[in-house]
Amino acid sequence: MMHALRLLLGRVTGIAFAILAIATINFVLVHSAPGDPALVIAGQSGATDAKFIEQVRADYGLDRPYLVQLGTYLGKVVQLDLGYSYRQRRAVSELILERLGPTLLLTLSAFVLSLVGGVLFGALAGRRHGSWSDLTISMMALLFYATPVFWLGLMLVLVFSIQLEWLPAFGYSNMRSGTFGTFDQAVDVARHLVLPAVTLSAIYMAVYTRLMRSSLIEVQHEDHVRTARAKGLTEAAILRHHMLRNAAVPVITFAGLQAGALIGGAVVVETVFAWPGLGRLTFEAVTARDYPVLLGLFLVTSILVIAVNLLTDLLHRLIDPRVVTR
């Protein structure tokens, strides 16, 4: 118990350090950009008034020295205050919070989908190593691995939304469904989720399929599988009880590392599918040079990545007892 507590404590301080470091890097990165944010607000309001620009600058502290801005920012981060968006005229934490749900829904379902699909297909291919099904799955995995995400999204929209009219092409929910019962809304959101989630998961599913396949092939030759065979287990039982889980361990470890990439991919997918999540907010903030939002976003996405890492770690611990005390 003490041990677990200490482990947790170590984890938390590690994360805190990482977050502060990321916060600093982000701040420096974003603030070295050319472009005066005051001007953007002014320009977009159709302003031709220098006084107005000065006012904006004063309002958002952009006239203060760089280091003071950084210090203020870090201080606020510690207090979980992510600042105020001058473009959106709202607290950054509020903006992020309301976009967090859809992104979590999208990335987590894509994560689960890719993992489950990858493990399933990879197992199928690895089990019948060298067979036609293996060849087909491997080839598909290679193709999906090489397909640009945005391109795949477009093709899916073309086929499933425009040609077949099965699924909505974009958005998070049909806005009228919000007024009905929660079940209707859940179904509605689920229908909107299908295409973006499939698009986002495709490349990772391909990666996990390939990984699972080679992992399974490797496991097949391990001694404990021979032991299981010597015990008289059927091949199906061996696959289920002695190969799948063992082969999935490296896949899950790897999946944790991919969390950052997954959120990066969400930017493209959310833009293509008009999914109202953090990814789209990121792109909007980059084009609008919305500094506070960008800073907040990078922080939150990084925390998300760390969270996913923790989650996979947990999953890893769950299926691999060796990790706990190691």
Partner 1 sequence: MTEPLLTIENLILALPQGADRPHAVDDVSLSVAANEIVCLVGESGSGKSMIAHTILGLLPAKVRVESGAVRFGGRDLLALPAAEMRALRGSDIAMIFQEPQTALNPLKRVGAQVAEAIRTHDPAAGREATSLRVRELFEQVGLPDPRTLVSAYPFQLSGGQRQRVMIAMALANNPSLLIADEPTTALDVTTQRQILDLIRSLQAARGMGVLFITHDIGVVADIADRVVVLRRGRVVEQGPARTVLNQPREDYTRQLLDAVPGRGTLRRAKEDAEPLLEIRGLQKTFITRQGFFSPPRRVVAAEALDLRLHRGETLAVVGESGSGKSTLARMVLRLIEADDGDILFAGQSVRAMGREALRQFRRCAQIVFQDPYASLDPRRKVGESISFGPMAHGVPRAEAERLARQWLERVGLTSQAADRFPHEFSGGQRQRICIARALALEPSLLIADEAVSALDVSVQAQILALLAELKEEMNLSMLFITHDLRVAREIADTIVVMRAGKIVEQNGAEALFAAPRSDYARSLLAAVPGKDFFERASARPAASMPASGAQSG
Partner 2 sequence: MRDLVRTFFRRPAGIVGLVLLGLVCLMAALAPVLYPASPWEMTGVPFSRPGENGMLLGADTLGRDVASGVVHGARVSLLIGIASALAASCIGVLLGCIAGYAGGLVDMAIVRFTELFQTIPTFVLAILLVAILTPSLATIILAIALVSWPPLARLTRAQVMSIMRREFVQAARCQGQSTLSIVTRHVLPNAISPIIVAGSLTVAAAILIEAALSFMGLGDPNFMSWGYMIGAGRTVIRQAWWMSVFPGLAILLTVVAINLVGEALNDALNPRISRA
Partner 3 sequence: MKRRDFTKLLLAGMALPGAGFMRDGMAYAQTPDGGLTSLLAPEPPTLMLPLNQQQPTIVAGAKIFESLLDFDFDLSPRPQLAESWDISEDGLTYTFHLVRNAKWHDGAPFTAHDVVFSCSQMLMELHPRARASFERCESIVAVDDHTVVFKLKEPFAPFIYAFETSSAPIAPRHIYEGTDYKNNPANDHPIGTGPFKYKEWVRGSHIHLVANPDYYQEGKPGLTEIFFRIVPDAASRAVALETGEAQLAGWNDVENFDVQRLAALPHLEFTTKGYEFASPLLWYELNLRKEPFNDLRVRKAMMHLLDKSFIVERIMFGLAAPATGPIASTTPFFQADLPQYEFDVDKANALLDEAGLKRGADGKRFIMRFLVVPAGEMWTRLGEYFRQAMAAGGIDVVLETTDMAGWGQRVSNWEFEATNNLVYQNADPALGVARSYVSSNIRKGVLFSNTEGYENPEVDRLFAEAAVQTTREARQERYTAVQRILVEDLPVLWMTEQRYATLYDNRLVDVIVGATGVNGNLAQARYA
Residue 1 tokens, joined: 């118990």
Euclidean distance between CA atoms 126 and 209, whole angstroms: 9
Determine the interface stretch with partner 3 among 1-9, 33-41, 107-115, 139-147 (rule: CB under 8 A): 33-41
Residues 6+ apart with CB under 8 A from 80: 93
From the list 302, 304, 309, the residue with the least C-alpha distance to 24 is 302
**Amino acid, single-letter form, for residue 323:** V
Residue 301 tokens, joined: 């996405």
Quick check: 168 and 161 in contact, CB under 8 A? yes
User: What residues are paired with 84 via a beta bridge?
Assistant: 91
Q: Does 151 bind partner 2 (CB under 8 A)?
A: yes
Stretch 149-168 residues interacting with partner 3 (CB under 8 A): 154, 157, 160-162, 165-168
Stretch 168-227 residues interacting with partner 2 (CB under 8 A): none
- List residues near partner 1 by CB under 8 A: 3, 6-7, 9-11, 13-14, 222-224, 226-234, 237, 241-242, 245-246, 249, 319-322, 325-326
Quick check: 260 and 225 in contact, CB under 8 A? no
> 31 vs 245, which CB is nearer to partner 1?
245
Residue 168, phi-psi category: left (phi > 0), alpha (psi -120 to 50), beta (remainder): beta
Query: 32 by DSSP, 3-state: which?
Result: coil
Binding-site string for partner 2 from residue 15 to residue 54, where x marks contact by CB under 8 A and - marks none: ---x--xx--xx--xx-xxx--------------------
Instruction: Identify what 39 binds: partner 2, partner 1, partner 3, none; CB under 5 to 8 Å per kind.
Output: partner 3
Euclidean distance between CA atoms 125 and 217, whole angstroms: 9
Residues near partner 2 (CB under 8 A) are 18, 21-22, 25-26, 29-30, 32-34, 142-143, 145-151, 154, 158, 162, 257, 260-261, 263-265, 267-268, 271, 279, 282-283, 286-287, 294, 297-298, 301-302, 305-306, 309
The residues of the shown chain that bind partner 3, judged by CB under 8 A, are 33-37, 39-40, 42-50, 52-53, 59, 85, 87-90, 95, 98-99, 102, 154, 157, 160-162, 165-176, 178, 187-188, 191, 236, 271-274, 276-277, 280-281, 284, 286-289
